Amino acid sequence: MWTVDLSKVVTAEQKAAETRAALQAQYSAAIQAHLDTKARERQYDGIQTAITYRGDPNPQFSAEGEALFAWRS
């Protein structure tokens, strides 16, 4: 008699959830890369570094940090 190992069956819901998770990871990575690229255009290491300049005594750094923070949000 033929038996099915149910532990190896993938449902349509599981397949859809895996596809959504993969797409979300791709979108997140693309957005992060874009934010980091924009910050690097202004000579920061990345977006995380750039936003630390919010409130900096240097007006240019402060403005860029504020702008990139708002843009990221």
Q: What is the pLDDT of residues 5-58, one digit of tens each?
A: 777 888 889 999 999 999 999 999 999 999 999 999 999 999 999 999 999 999
Token reading at 30: 């693309």
**Confidence class for position 69, pLDDT limits 50, 70, 90:** very high
Identify the CA nearest to 35 among candidates 25, 26, 46, 27.
46
Close Cβ partners of 56 (under 8 Å, ≥ 6 residues apart): 62, 65
Q: Is 47 exposed, middle or buried (0-12, 13-18, 19+ CB in 10 A)?
A: buried
pLDDT score, position 22: 97
Q: Are 40 and 23 in contact (CB under 8 A)?
A: no
pLDDT score, position 3: 81
**Confidence class for position 2, pLDDT limits 50, 70, 90:** confident
